[in-house]
Structure 1
Amino acid sequence: MPAKLSVNLNAIAMLRNRRDLPWPSLTRLGHIALEAGANGLTVHPRPDQRHIRFSDLPDIRALIDDVFPGREFNIEGYPSEDFLRLVEETQPEQVTLVPDDPAQQTSDHGWPFVEKGDFLKSAVARLKRQGFRVSLFCDPDADQVALRAAKETGADRVELYTGPYGACHDDSEKAAKELERLGKTADTAAGLGLAVNAGHDLTVANLPPLARRIPALAEVSIGHGLTADALEFGMAETVRRFLKACEG
């Protein structure tokens, strides 16, 4: 079964926030994406609200509940008390925990699972009590020790950070090496009973090789590349292109 596609709305929100105006509309473009076949929507609300605003979350939750029941809302973020309360108020289907500093422009590394194991256990347990699926952002070359520590937190999944793979868009030899790093990590994670998501700088060009190397890939979360393509092809056609790419 192909990986499910979750459309990350952050880049659209950043464009909206350039003006004190309500467009482009996150819910309208989210509606188009879900209508075209996306499985869900992803947001990463940061403390400074530089793209997704906290006030966006109820509207996206309502869009899924009222118009697309059965689709999923995935919220990413660092598990501060404020973030955890925000998640509990919004009730997403999935929470993806990332080790970001609030000042970071974007997620660029996975958790040090061994060092942060106790911290993550507490956050994961709190989220699981609410019934949320929990995924942990993971480096592309995490070893068995690290992944075992990830499993011991109680998380359901890891999300492979595919940024280094995406950065090789003009170097096929290097891309093949990065792809194999991701594949080996996914194999180890699956062997420990962790499902595998992936995200960061994925495109219609580099997604098929990833899907072939990791046939059990559960979900991809894509924002920047998908939004860039939507400017050229429109959101609906772009979602269909990425869904096709998920097939490998």
Structure 2
Amino acid sequence: MRLDGTVALVTGASSGIGAAASVSLARQGAAVAVVARRRERLDELAARIRGDGGDVLVIEADITQEAQAVEAVERTASELGRIDTLVNNAGVMLLGPAAGAPMTEWQRMVEINVLGLLYCAHAALPYLLKAAGAGPRHVADMVNVSSVAGRVPRSGSSVYNLTKHGVGAFSEALRQEVGQKHVRISLVEPGAVETELAGHNRPEVLETIRARFGGIERMQPEDIADAITYIVTRPRHVAVNELLIRPTEQE
């Protein structure tokens, strides 16, 4: 099912999976609200989408601030007319041993990976329920981007594991709550993807990450965008609840 006549909101859209998903959803006919902090990156993305003939709304916002997250959702609904799809993609991965870790890193992961996602989900849910009840597709989607870390705890990833396991639990419980109203809640769990995600780590942690994944062919953002697009273009009676995607060579 194409997405003509629908509206999608994508967080963390200034790079990586978020940018690729925005392009992909627009190509399926959705008007897309792209949300992130880096305005220049969003403007470049918007130009690309418009160049392909798509409709896009740029919203500069920090979703860790509840008021800004709510405003992003409200602006999307007001200026584009509705919200049929929410892609909660914004996230951060800050790894390393728990002993001696900066508390600011733990707080940052909770703020973005959990609270930011919750702020957007809470604000968008009434619009998703409304869209599911009133065409054009009579179904709506919330796609929460998690990680392999939401399934497999690993040494050095304790708080990142915590946040991503939480996203998985939230998604499944919410699915049971709103699924019969035709709001589909889907969880996407990527393995190693070639994005900026790892680059936010401290140098010594970054070296460990490079040593672990340097020898494998990582996935590209477009691979995950393709999966997200697959999920939201299924017929109304089909819900993809959970999708785990790893590079072929990843253990």
Mark yes or no: TM-score above 0.5.
no
TM-score calculated relative to the size of structure 1: 0.37
TM-score calculated relative to the size of structure 2: 0.36
